[in-house]
Structure formats: structure tokens, C-alpha cells
Structure 1
Amino acid sequence: MTTTQLATLPYRHVLTVPATGSAVRIARETTELVLVECGVGLRHPSTGPALLILAELVTNAVRHAAAVSPVITVTYAHGPGVLAFAVHDRHPYQPPLFGAMATAPGSGLATVVEMTMELGGTAVIRADADGRGKSIWITLPL
């Protein structure tokens, strides 16, 4: 999904949380609420994987970026047949998403990429304009 396509998704929600352990629970609970609000049931086949992928990305942001990024932002977008979400932090390091599958199989990031691909989705990293942060965008078909 291109940036232009993401920009046209009609439903948007933004969650900003402190980069602490509770961020994972808050992000998961918020994701469940967003899915229900958008008409996607919690029993939809993509819901469980989406929650797991989101939790892993937020966990990584808390573990690896909290020292330079005191907050994490999760952006949700939803449209016909697609759910997109991004986890943003202000740490400049951009992990190699697809390299994780080769260099760190079984790691959280490798699992995120593998699950996303198995569901027919996409995973991309978008750097902040100033190069001092990034968002990892996940799109999943519904």
C-alpha cells in the first residue's frame, strides 16, 4: 500500500503512550476498540495476528527506543478490506525488516514480517523527515 493509498483510508485514530511496559497493554486494548468501532469483529481471522504484530512492535519500541523516545505513537487507519497501523518512535535506528528473517529468525521482528506476509499484508519503515525517528507501517487485508 502506498503512502497516497494510506492517506485516503477513511478512519483514523491516534494513540500516544509513554514508552513504558504498560504501553503494550494500552495499545492492544485500544486496537481492539478501534477494530470494533470500524466494524471488524474480534473474531475476524486477522484480528489475533494484528494484535500480536502490534504488541511486538510496541514492545520493541519500549525496549529499544525508550531512552531517546519517551513516547510512542500508534496510528490506525481502516478502509474497505484493509487495516493499517503504524508504531512510531523517535529513535533513529531503522531495523532491517526483511533482513530480520535471515539474520534473526524467530526474533520478534522476524515474526512480525513473517506473519504480515503470510496474511498477504505489507510491512514498511518510513523515516521521519528529520531522520531522527521512524514509523513501522503494517497493512493487513480484512
Structure 2
Amino acid sequence: MSKAIEALPHRHALTVPTEGSAVRMARETAQMVLAEWGVSARHPSLDPALLILSELVTNSVRHAATTSPTLTVIFAGSADCLAFGVHDRHPYQPPLHGALTATGGKGLATVMELTLALAGTAVVRGDADGGGKSIWITLPL
């Protein structure tokens, strides 16, 4: 987690098994947490943020379940910023900015298109031991 994200006043973490139900649990938790933080259900960034979150959790479920029995979603926010990271213990760090031109899966391309359209940022951060990673999305609200 970066210093800027650490400085955000709101924080919530969710750890779930790396299985299909994780996507639903992550979305429902995001909606609950954002409502608690005062983000309107009609905010124009909410639906794209939930889609980005769903794609990242789906990727962890599809690609990391064999090495990571759980995944963790960390939410952080303020009145004008939402950040969330999806962490798993699979060592592969996908190239996010190459996703827009990739011929493989479309999930990361969707993540990057939505993030950039919302003037947000995306970054992959590897664990200190090299055995996992987090993909962090930061979006203005």
C-alpha cells in the first residue's frame, strides 16, 4: 500500500476463499462500505468501480486459486478518492498497461479502460517475499 493510500481516513479489509462466491462477496462488501462512507449509490463512478473490482477478483479466482487459498480486498477512501487493492499469493504480476493491446483475456483490458476513463490509476505491487501481489486501483470521486 502506498503512502497516499495509507493516508486515506477510511479503511476496510475483506478476506475470502479464492472461489467463485468471492466476486459477489467483494461487490456486496464494497457497496456496503461505500454507503457507510457516504458515497451515493448513484455516484457515476460506483458502477464502473464495482465492475473493475469484479474483474480483479475474478482474475484472482481463475488464476491464483491453486497457490492462494484466500484473497484479500482492501478498501480505502476519503471524500474525494476511492482506492482498493486485490491481493493474492500468486507470484505472477500481470502487465496492466499492456492489457489494452493484449490478445488474450479481456478482463484486464476492461479494468484499464474503465480506470483510465475515470482518470484513475492502476498499479501492481509485489509482496516483499516475491510470493504474491496486489493490484491497486485509485479513482477520484
If the TM-score is normalised by the length of the shorter chain, which range does it land in?
over 0.9
Which 5+ residue runs of structure 1 have no aligned equivalent? none
Mapped partners of 2:41, 2:105: distance in 1: 26
Letter in 1 for 2:108: L
Residue pair 1:24, 1:55 contacting (<8 A) in 2 also: yes
Runs of 4+ in 1 over 6 A off after TM superposition: none
How many corresponding residue pairs?
A: 141
Greater mean deviation of Cα atoms: 102-111 or 119-128: 102-111
Partners of 1:92 and 1:49 in 2: CA distance: 27
Q: How far, CA to CA, are the matches of 1:54 and 1:44 in structure 2?
A: 16
Q: Structure 2: any 5+ residue segments left out of the alignment?
A: none
Find the counterpart in structure 2 of residue 138 from structure 1: 137
Query: Identity percentage over the alignment?
Result: 65
Aligned to 1:53: 52
Q: Distance in 1 between matches of 2:137 and 2:12?
A: 15
Q: Distance in 2 between matches of 1:98 and 1:123?
A: 9
Superposition RMSD in Å? 1.2
Q: Over residues 52-74 of structure 1, what are the superposed CA-to-partner deviations in whole Å (9 max), with x where a residue is unaligned? A: 00000000000000000000000
**2: distance between equivalents of 1:7 and 1:22?**
28
TM-score computed with the length of structure 2 as normaliser: 0.97
- Give matches, 1:89-100, under 5 Å: 89-100=88-99
| 1:105, distance to aligned residue in structure 2 (A) | 7.5
